[in-house]
Amino acid sequence: MNVYTAIYIRVSTQDQRTDSQLGELKRYCQQRGWKKVQVFQDKISGAKSTRPELDRMVKEIRAGRVERVVAYKLDRLGRSITHLCLLTDELARLGIPLVCSSQGIDTSGSNPAGKFQLDVLKAVCEFERNLIRDRVNVGLAAAKARGIRLGRPSTLDKRAGEVIALKKRGLGVRAIARELEMPVSSVHSVIKQSDKIQSQDNSSRVARLRLRRK
C-alpha cells in the first residue's frame, strides 16, 4: 500500500490565507526527504465540533494510508485539549508520528527526543482526563446533595402514576399489584416513596406557614 505524509493546515476564517503554513510545511517535508505528501486544509474555527478535512485525514490514518502527520502547531490540530489528547492517543496507538514544525515536536522513533515528547503529551492528556473526571464527580455529588436522581428512570418510576391513581381509588397494595401485574414489593416501594415525598411536601408547607405567621 502506498503511504504518504499528511500535512494538516487550519485557519479560523474563510478570509485567512493558508499560504504561509503550507509553504513552510512543504519546505519542511522536502528538507526531511518526505516527497510524497497530501494536504488536508480546513478553514474553520478551532471550536467547531466537526472539521471535514481533519475528519477525512483521520479516516485515511485509520485506513493505513498515512505514514506521519505534519502540522504547524498543536493548536492547529485539536478542537480542544481533550480532542487533541484523543487524537494523540490514537496516533500513538497506530504508530503514526506527529510532527509540529514550529514547536520542535517530532514523536517519530528516529528522533532521539521523540519518546520523551510523546510521554509528555501522554502525561498532559492523562492530567486533562483526571481533571474532567474530577469535575464530573464533583458535579454528580452536588446533584445528589440537591436530591436529584441520577441515571435512567427505573421501571417503577414509569408505573408510579398508575400505582398512585389506583391507591387514590382505595385499592390496597395486593389489589394494585394484581391490577397492574406488578410484584407486590414493587407496588409497596412506589407507595412508600410517594408517602415520603408527600410527607416532605407537608413539612415544607408547615414551615412556610410558620414563617408567614412570624
- The torsion defined by the Cα of 136, 140, 146 and 152, in degrees rounded to 10, comes to 130
* Separation between Cα atoms, residue 88 and residue 77, nearest integer Å: 10
* Separation between Cα atoms, residue 39 and residue 2, nearest integer Å: 16
Check residue 153 and give left, alpha or beta (phi > 0: left; psi -120 to 50: alpha). Answer: beta
The answer to whether residues 79 and 48 touch, using CB atoms and an 8 Å cutoff, is yes
Q: Amino acid identity of 163?
A: V
Q: Which of 12, 45, 203, 204 is catalytic?
A: 12
Specify the pairing of strand 105-106 against strand 98-100: antiparallel
Neighbours of 45 (CB within 10 A): 12
102 is catalytic: no
Strand partners, 99: 70, 106
Q: Amino acid identity of 142?
A: A
Active site residues: 12
